[in-house]
Structure 1
Amino acid sequence: MLVIRPITAADFPALKQIAIESGPGFTSLPDHDARLWQKIAHAEHSFAAAVDSPGDQGYLFVLEDQSTGDIVGTTGIEAAVGLHTPLYHFQQNTVMHHSAELNVLNQLKTLTLCNDYTGTSEICTLFLRESYRRNHAGRFLSKVRFLFMAEYPQRFSERVIAEMRGATDEQGVPPFWNWLQQLFLTIDFPTADKLIGVGKKSFIAELMPRHPIYVGLLPQAAQQVIGKVHENTIPALKMLEKEGFRHRGYIDLFDAGPTVEAQLSEIRSVAQSRKVPVRITDVSGEHTLAVANTALQGFRASFGKGARYCAEQQQLLLSPQFATALALQEGDFARFINLDQR
Structure 2
Amino acid sequence: MIIVRPVEIVDIDHLMEIAVAASPGMTTLPPDRKTLEHKILLSSESITRTIKEPGSEVYLLVMEDTDTGKLVGTASIIAKLGIDDQFYSYKLNKQTQYSRQINKKVTVETLHLTNHFEGFAEVATLYLTDAYRKNGNGKLLARSRYLFMAEFRERFPDKVMADLRGYFDENGRSPFWEALGRHFFDMSYSEADLYGALNGNQFIADLMPKHPIYVNLLPMEAREVIGRPNDQGKPALTMLEKEGFRNNGQVDIFDGAPSVDAHIDELKTIKESHKVRVSGTVALQEGQEYLVCAGTLESYRVCISCLVIETDGSVLMPQTALNALKIGIDDLIRYSAL
Instruction: Give the TM-score band, short-chain normalised.
Output: over 0.9
CA contact (8 A) 1:3 1:65 kept: yes
1:316 maps to 2:291: no
Check whether the contact 2:305–2:318 (CA below 8 A) recurs between aligned residues: no
Name the residue aligned to 1:267.
267
Q: Distance in 1 between matches of 2:21 and 2:325?
A: 28
Query: SS of the residue aligned with 1:106?
Result: strand
Question: Partner of 2:336 in structure 1?
Answer: 337
Counterpart code for 2:156? F
Q: What code does the residue aligned with 1:302 have?
A: C
SS in 1 for 2:25: coil
Matched length: 337
Structure 2 unmatched runs, 5+: none
Matching residue of 2:36: 36
Partner AA of 1:299 in structure 2: Y
Does the 8 Å contact 1:166/1:229 carry over to 2?
Answer: yes
| Residue 13 of structure 1: how far off its partner (Å) | 1.1
**Corresponding residue for 2:256?**
256
Partner of 2:291: 290
3-12 vs 259-268, greater mean Cα deviation: 3-12
Deviation, structure 1 residue 245: 0.5
What is the SS of the residue equivalent to 1:83? coil
Look up the match of 1:107: 107
- Bigger CA drift: 142-151 or 277-286? 277-286
Distance between the aligned counterparts of 1:238 and 1:251, measured in 2? 17
CA distance in 1, matches of 2:108, 2:287: 53
Provide structure 1 residue ranges, at least 5 long, that are not aligned to the other structure: none
% of aligned pairs identical? 36
Which amino acid is the alignment partner of residue 167 of structure 1? Y
Q: Aligned partners of 2:213, 2:21: CA distance in 1, in Å?
A: 36
> 1:85–1:199: 8 Å Cα contact kept in structure 2?
no
2: CA distance between counterparts of 1:110 and 1:332? 54
Q: Is the contact between residue 78 and residue 121 of structure 1 (CA under 8 Å) also seen in structure 2?
A: yes
- Would you say the 8 A contact 1:278–1:333 is kept in 2? yes
Counterparts of 2:182 and 2:192 in 1: how far apart (Å)? 13
SS of 1:162's partner is strand
CA distance in 1, matches of 2:181, 2:43: 34
Which amino acid is 1:10 matched to?
A: V
Hey, what does 1:59 align to over in structure 2? 59
* Bigger mean CA offset, 92-101 vs 54-63: 92-101
SS of equivalent to 1:168: coil
CA distance in structure 1 between the partners assigned to 2:255 and 2:213 by the alignment: 16
Structure 2: distance between partners of 1:182 and 1:329: 55
Shift of 1:327: 1.8
Deviations 1:255-296 (A, max 9, x none): 100001010010000100110111221233343211111411
Matched, 1:179 2:179: yes
In structure 2, the partner of 1:3 is 3
CA contact (8 A) 1:247 1:259 kept: yes
Report Cα offsets for 1:291-326 as digits up to 9, x if no partner. Answer: 111411111111133x2323x120121111111211
Secondary structure of the corresponding residue to residue 249 of structure 2: strand
Distance 1:188 1:68 in 2: 38
Give the superposition deviation at 1:30: 0.3
Q: Conserved in 1, the CA contact under 8 Å of 2:94 and 2:109?
A: yes
Moved more, 181-190 or 5-14: 181-190
Stretches of 4+ aligned residues off by more than 6 angstroms? none
Distance 2:236 2:294 in 1: 25
- Residues 181/150 of structure 1: CA separation in 2 closer, same or farther (3 Å cut): closer
Aligned residue identity for 1:324 = N
SS in 2 for 1:165: coil
- Cα distance in 2 for partners of 1:64, 1:178 equals 37
Q: How does 1:130-209 map to 2 (within 5 A)?
A: 130-209=130-209
Partner of 2:298: helix, strand, or coil?
Answer: coil
Rounded Cα–Cα distance in structure 2 between residues aligned with 1:6 and 1:182: 36
Distance in 2 between residues matched to 1:13 and 1:111, nearest whole Å:
40
Q: Within 2, Cα distance between the matches of 1:99 and 1:106?
A: 9
Deviation at 1:64, TM superposition (A): 1.5
Return the offset for 1:182: 4.9
Map of 1:118 onto structure 2: 118
Counterpart of 1:259 in 2: which secondary structure? strand
- CA positional deviation for 1:90: 0.8
Is 1:302 matched up with 2:303? yes
Moved more, 85-94 or 285-294: 285-294
Is the 1:28–1:124 contact (alpha carbons within 8 Å) kept by the matching residues of 2?
yes
TM-score (norm 2): 0.96
Per the normalisation by structure 1, the TM-score is 0.95
1:181: how far off?
A: 4.3
Aligned residue identity for 1:336: Y
Distance 1:145 1:116 in 2: 22
1:197 Cα deviation after fit: 1.7
Give me the whole-angstrom Cα distance separating, in 2, the residues matched to 1:207 and 1:11.
36
Q: Which amino acid aligns with 2:72?
A: V
